């Protein structure tokens, strides 16, 4: 304030006014940049069998900020991998995405989901059998539910599947992140991941149904 009083006395009025306008404009631009820098992320949760295999398709998509593998849909609090894999907790392996809806839509995320699973298999995924490997879309809003249901109907009409779509669309419950060694497993253990993903039949199935899409 002292500096402004000094300037107001020593500078011509039009110069002082220009100085004030410049200072105000600079402040507003700085505040505007701060506001633009804050991303409003949304959450999407999908279960597609082994969660190792569901990370890579999303990891390369612009707008997907973070992927966490974990467990959802069960009753036990904070279950371990051993407990979930035994099929005793009611959970299924899943991935949870944090994404920027300005860069990628939920519709697109659902589309990628369908193209990386066998949606007609109700007892697991590929050679991983049991409810802990069941497929599902766990919606976080009414809008996500609507989009998922419409996408499922659209998938049924493609004629690609002789059997009915078994993937469930249910409201998201508590999601528990899996142990650290499961996160980004395909990067930590690329050789083992590659053998598993091919050996499970997932890679062959995707190519048979979707080709190079």
For residues 79 and 91, what is the distance between their CA atoms, to the nearest angstrom?
Answer: 9
pLDDT at 206 over 70: yes
- Please state the domain count of the chain: 1
> What are 14-49's pLDDT values in tens digits?
443 444 344 444 444 444 444 456 779 999 999 999
pLDDT band at 7 (very low <50, low <70, confident <90, very high): very low
Write down the pLDDT at residue 30: 43
For residues 153 and 131, what is the distance between their CA atoms, to the nearest angstrom?
Answer: 23
30 occurs within a structural domain: no
pLDDT at 8 over 70: no
178 occurs within a structural domain: yes
3 occurs within a structural domain: no
> What are 95-111's pLDDT values in tens digits?
999 999 999 999 999 99
> What are 142-198's pLDDT values in tens digits?
999 999 999 999 999 998 999 999 999 999 999 999 999 999 999 999 999 999 999
| CATH number of the domain bearing residue 153 | 3.30.1060.10
Residue 73 vs residues 114, 132, 155, 175: alpha-carbon distances, Å: 19, 9, 24, 8
8 occurs within a structural domain: no
With a CB cutoff of 8 Å and minimum separation 6, the contacts of 70 are 51, 93, 94, 95, 96, 175, 176, 177, 178
Q: What is the CA radius of gyration of the chain?
A: 25
21 occurs within a structural domain: no
For residues 167 and 99, what is the distance between their CA atoms, to the nearest angstrom?
Answer: 22
Which domain covers residue 134, as residue numbers? 42-208
> What are 192-204's pLDDT values in tens digits?
999 999 999 999 9
16 occurs within a structural domain: no
pTM assigned to the model:
0.81
Query: Catalytic residue at 53?
Result: no
18 occurs within a structural domain: no
126 occurs within a structural domain: yes
Spot the catalytic one: 50, 137, 148, 178: 50
């Amino acid at each position: 304030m002292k500096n402004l009083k000094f300037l107001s006395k020593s500078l011509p009025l039009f110069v002082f006014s220009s100085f004030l306008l410049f200072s105000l404009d600079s402040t507003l631009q700085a505040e505007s940049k701060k506001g633009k820098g804050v991303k409003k992320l949304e959450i999407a949760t999908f279960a597609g069998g082994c969660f190792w295999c569901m990370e890579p398709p999303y990891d390369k998509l612009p707008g997907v900020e973070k992927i966490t593998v974990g467990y959802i849909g069960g009753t036990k609090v904070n279950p371990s991998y051993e407990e979930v894999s035994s099929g005793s907790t009611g959970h299924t392996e899943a991935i949870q995405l944090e994404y920027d809806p300005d860069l990628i839509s939920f519709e697109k995320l659902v589309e990628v989901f369908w193209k990386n699973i066998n949606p007609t298999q109700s007892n697991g995924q590929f050679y991983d059998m049991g409810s802990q490997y069941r497929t599902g879309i766990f919606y976080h809003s009414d809008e996500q539910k609507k989009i998922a249901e419409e996408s499922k109907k659209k998938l049924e009409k493609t004629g690609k599947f002789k059997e009915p779509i078994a993937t469930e669309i249910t409201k998201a419950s508590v999601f528990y992140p899996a142990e650290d060694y499961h996160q980004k497993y395909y990067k930590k253990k690329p050789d083992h991941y590659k053998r598993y993903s091919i050996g499970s039949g997932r890679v062959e199935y995707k190519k048979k149904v979707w080709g190079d899409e």
